[in-house]
Structure 1
Amino acid sequence: MRRVVVYALMSLDGVAEEPGDWVFEVDERVFRNLAEVVGRQDLVLLGRATYASWVDYWPTSDVQPFADFVNGTPKHVVTSSPLDGAWPGAVAVGAPLVEHVRALRAGDGGDVGVHGSLTVARTLLAAGLVDELQLVVAPTVAGRGRRLFEGQDLQRLQLTRAEPTPSGCVLLTYRPSSSA
């Protein structure tokens, strides 16, 4: 059975939208953590908006370790319309997201990663289909922007790792609590 892992960069006030606007410094430990997380993933789920904003950037990017990973990994894009642009490995998934992810989880393979797609992440959290949250909390207050946990019902999580980094970020790993 596969696991679904949500990876998100967040500000101290919970904003996860456009981290380039409020992440000012990262260090080697943050990049090593990202490499560890994506090293276990062999499929990425993206929402339509994330795909649209990434399709012109990542195929020509050399920002590692994410560029090689996202360009070489199959990308399932949740959308009801054809994809604009060409990105090798990207396929449109018109099936309902929850059903599609249940089928993916039942299969064999590595982790299924959710990166940068807040609506997809929220939907999967609400459906109880997220097995792990990998959060990088930056030492900034963004003040405004979309938050990962906006509109979510009460859910208990179990902290399995908390690690500060030299740049002041905190690497957090949570799993859904069995008593939730």
Structure 2
Amino acid sequence: MRRVVAYELVSLDGVAESPDSFLFDFDEVMHDHLREVIEEQDTVLLGRRMYDEWAAYWPTSDMQPFADFINAVPKHVVTSTPLTTPWTNATALDGTSLGASVEELKREDGRDIGVHGSIDLARSLLRAGLVDELRLVVAPTVAGRGRRLFEDVDLTRLELLRSTTSPSGALLVDYAVRR
């Protein structure tokens, strides 16, 4: 069975919204970590807000390795309305049956299913017990305000799989979600 892996950029106080406002240095160790994450994925789940933002940005971006990955990978967008911004390999996934849809994707052959950004979607998947692994980049910054990744998420036990410190001081931590 495939795994759902949420890759999130967060501040030390758990803010995940607008990581460009608190993550100032994305160094080579962080790039290698991202490269490892996306090399294991062949499908991505996105929330509608993230999809609309990214569909306007990534098709013309040259920020590697993520641009080539996100532009080519099949993207399932959790939404209740039709997609109005075209983007290669993007399909709408009915948000009213999120659990069943994600379980069906997990049963298909393939590699990991990634969740990138999409804070509300990541929270929903965590609450539903559908996230198998969290891969976090924790910036050495206290953001103070913004939407936090773990708001309205019940007690979730995690098992540390790996931790690394990057030269710029970010913590790269990978956790398995314990069931």
Q: TM-score range by the shorter chain?
A: over 0.9
Task: Give the C-alpha shift of residue 177 in structure 1.
Answer: 2.3
Partner of 2:32: 32
Measure, in 1, the Cα distance between the counterparts of 2:45 and 2:14: 21
How far off is 1:148 after superposition?
A: 0.7
Match for residue 149 of structure 1? 150
What is the letter of the counterpart of residue 18 of structure 1?
Answer: S
Task: Calculate the TM-score normalised by the size of structure 1.
Answer: 0.96
Q: Which letter does structure 2 place at the counterpart of 1:53?
A: E
Residues of 1 paired with 2:173 and 2:137: CA distance?
A: 6
Runs of 5+ in structure 1 lacking a partner?
A: none
Q: How does 1:94-105 map to 2 (within 5 A)?
A: 94=94, 96-105=97-106
Number of corresponding residues? 178
Kindly report which structure 2 residues correspond to 1:70-109, keeping only aligned pairs within 5 A, or say none: 70-94=70-94, 96-109=97-110
Secondary structure, aligned partner of 1:12: coil
Deviation, structure 1 residue 108? 1.0
Displacement of 1:88 after TM fit?
Answer: 0.6
Q: After the TM superposition, which of the residue ranges 132-141 and 93-102 deviates more from structure 2?
A: 93-102
CA distance in 2, matches of 1:102, 1:23: 33
TM-score, scaled to structure 2: 0.97
Alignment deviations for residues 89-144 of structure 1 (CA, whole Å, 9 cap, x no partner): 11111251111101011111010000011111111111111110000001111110
Q: Distance in 1 between matches of 2:99 and 2:17?
A: 22
Distance 2:34 2:112 in 1: 14
Within 1, Cα distance between the matches of 2:174 and 2:123? 17
Q: Corresponding residue for 2:141?
A: 140
Q: Distance in 2 between matches of 1:105 and 1:93?
A: 14
Provide the identity percentage.
58
Q: Which moved more, 1:86-95 or 1:53-62?
A: 86-95
Find out whether 1:42 has 2:42 as its counterpart.
yes
CA RMSD of aligned residues (A): 0.9
